Amino acid sequence: MKNFFAYKIYTQPFDPELISGLMWEFEITGLLEDDDHITVFTSDNSSANEGQFNFTLMKLKNEKLIESFLIEKEILEDTNWNEIWEKSREVIRVSDKIIIKPTFKDYSANPNEIVLTIDPKMSFGTGEHQTTKLILRLLENYVKPGIKLLDVGSGTGILAIASIKLGALKAFAVDFDEICLDNCRENCHLNGVSNSVEVITGEIDDVSEKDFDLILANIQKNVLIEIAEKIKSKLKSGGIVILSGLLETDKDAIEEKYHSIGFKTKFIDTKDEWIAIVLT
């Protein structure tokens, strides 16, 4: 049976947004924020480990951003995962229009609301993190009826699913993690959009389609810089790119790269210290 590892990280003072943002820089498979700590999840085949977390937290301590930290490690069996997530899931209101709920929570939608039923399991994209909320809010403005879009690093599939429900004709969701892809397929089925979302194993190079009207990527800065030209090659002339997974301090590096290959910044949205950038 495949093992997963849970690292409970306590810091003094506790700044969940700062610590969570740094942890998402690693190859983790999930993250939960609690009142006094965060829990980071990794799997057997993940490169993320306690040594990396310790190094990052020690750097914060040396920079006097935190006074102290503690890491507690636990081994979890795959079968324990759903129970862990169910204990922490709540209905999330992203905007006046978009609501996110797990299958085991009841919610009576108003006529103008779009309800996304998402069971995240080991995938990123629960709707709790600021970066996901930022893109979901932007989709309300940039998804037009009949468009074709690509979601790079799709996780739970929440962005692709929301786009279809907002009127997109076809969405392609690509992720290299098979657990994420299985979860994405399940969530597409839960939301009745399986026929409109094509789930692809791999990276952006494995997507044969081109001429996308809209490309979404909620990934860390280094990856977004690395795949910038590939994103451009998949985009229709005049198309829109929405990038997130970014801190405010990442803005200059992202714009420098994307502007250098012909993009222009159309809009930037912020939530706490996180940003989403709309490029054309």
Residue 120 lies inside a defined structural domain of this protein? no
**Residue 47 domain-assigned (yes or no):** yes
Q: Judge whether 184 and 199 are in contact, CB under 8 Å.
A: yes
- Residues 213, 160 within the same domain: yes
Among 84, 116, 142, give the residue marking a domain's end: 84
Claim to verify: residue 59 and residue 182 sit in the same structural domain: no
- Taking the CA atoms of 204, 265, 197 and 271 in sequence, report the sign of the dihedral they define: positive
Q: Is residue 114 part of a domain?
A: no
Lowest average pLDDT, out of 15-29, 68-82, 155-169, 170-184, goes to 68-82
Mean pLDDT across the stretch 258-268?
98
Provide the residue range defining the domain that includes 72.
3-84
CA 101 to CA 92: how far, in whole Å? 6
Q: Are residues 262 and 145 in the same domain?
A: yes
In a shared domain, residues 71 and 164: no
Of 30, 57, 84, the residue at which a domain comes to its end is 84
Q: What's the average model confidence in pLDDT over 240-261?
A: 95
3-state secondary structure of 64: coil
- State pLDDT tens for residues 5-63: 889 999 999 988 788 888 888 888 777 778 789 998 887 777 888 999 999 999 999 98
Segment 121-131 mean pLDDT: 65
At residue 87, the pLDDT reads 62
Do 230 and 131 share a domain, yes or no?
yes
| The predicted structure's pLDDT at residue 206 | 95
Same domain for 246 and 135, yes or no, is yes
* Whether residue 76 sits in one domain with residue 171: no
Based on the fold, state whether residues 80 and 134 are members of the same structural domain: no
Residue 136 has what DSSP assignment? H
112 domain-assigned: no
Element (H, E) at 242: strand 235-247
| Polymer length of the chain | 280
Residue carrying structure tokens 């929440």: 158
* pLDDT on residue 122: 54
- Count of the separate structural domains present in the chain: 2
208 within some domain: yes
Task: Please report the pLDDT score of residue 129 as a whole number.
Answer: 76
pTM above 0.85, yes or no: no
The last residue of one of the domains, among 84, 114, 145, is 84
Tell me whether residue 172 is in a domain.
yes
**Quick check: is 119 in a domain?**
no
Residue 166's Cβ-side half-sphere holds a number of Cα atoms within 13 Å equal to: 24
- More confident: 77 or 16: 16
Question: Are 58 and 173 in the same domain?
Answer: no
Q: Which of 23-27, 186-190, 256-260, 269-273 shows the highest mean pLDDT?
A: 256-260
In contact, 89 and 38? CB cutoff 8 Å: no
CATH number at residue 133: 3.40.50.150
Q: At how many degrees (to 10) do helices 178-190 and 158-165 cross?
A: 30
Indicate if 162 and 78 belong to the same structural domain: no
Domain holding 49: CATH number? 3.30.70.1290
pLDDT at 173 (0 to 100): 96
Bigger pLDDT: 149 vs 86? 149
Q: Residues 142, 31: one domain?
A: no
Q: Return the residue matching tokens 């301590």.
A: 61
Cβ atoms of residues 213 and 239 within 8 Å = yes
As a whole number, mean pLDDT of residues 75-97 equals 71
Q: Is residue 266 part of a domain?
A: yes
- Say yes or no to pLDDT of 248 above 80: yes
Most confident range, picked from 55-69, 95-109, 124-138: 55-69
Residues 165, 80 share a domain = no
Residue 199 pLDDT: 95
**What does R_g of the chain's alpha carbons equal in angstroms?**
18
Average pLDDT over residues 117-136: 74
Query: Among 37-46, 75-84, 178-187, where is mean pLDDT lowest?
Result: 75-84
